Amino acid sequence: MPNDTGAASRPQLPVQPLKLLTPDDVAALISVERVTVIRLARAGKIPSLKIGKVIRFRPSTIEAWMAEQESA
């Protein structure tokens, strides 16, 4: 018998967690120091996510940002 709670069905979340990059990961990608990546993120010059006190980066967003920098 189906669940008759009346609630709309929710989309299923992906099974695998999203891999987020650390400031160290991004620093290695763009050949700068970790502190430079953190400063760029805090200044809003590089797209980032703030999760509590931690800064993380979506790989796809960083790739797009790097492509933008090439054409700038």
Closest of 70, 61, 67, 59 to residue 19, by C-alpha: 59
What is the number of structural domains in the chain? 1
**48 φ, ψ to 5°?**
-150, 170
**58 φ, ψ to 5°?**
-80, 130
Q: How many CB atoms lie within 10 A of CB 48?
A: 23
CA distance 28 to 53: 21
What was the pLDDT predicted at 33? Answer: 98
Q: Is the model more confident about 18 or about 66?
A: 66
The answer to whether residue 27 sits within a structural domain is: yes
The answer to whether residue 3 sits within a structural domain is: no
The answer to whether residue 7 sits within a structural domain is: no
41 token code pair: 């993120």
Query: The whole model's pTM is what?
Result: 0.74
What was the pLDDT predicted at 37? Answer: 98
Mean pLDDT of 6-24: 79
The answer to whether residue 42 sits within a structural domain is: yes
Domain range enclosing 65 = 23-71
Mean pLDDT of 21-36: 97
The per-residue pLDDT of the chain, averaged, comes to: 88
The answer to whether residue 54 sits within a structural domain is: yes
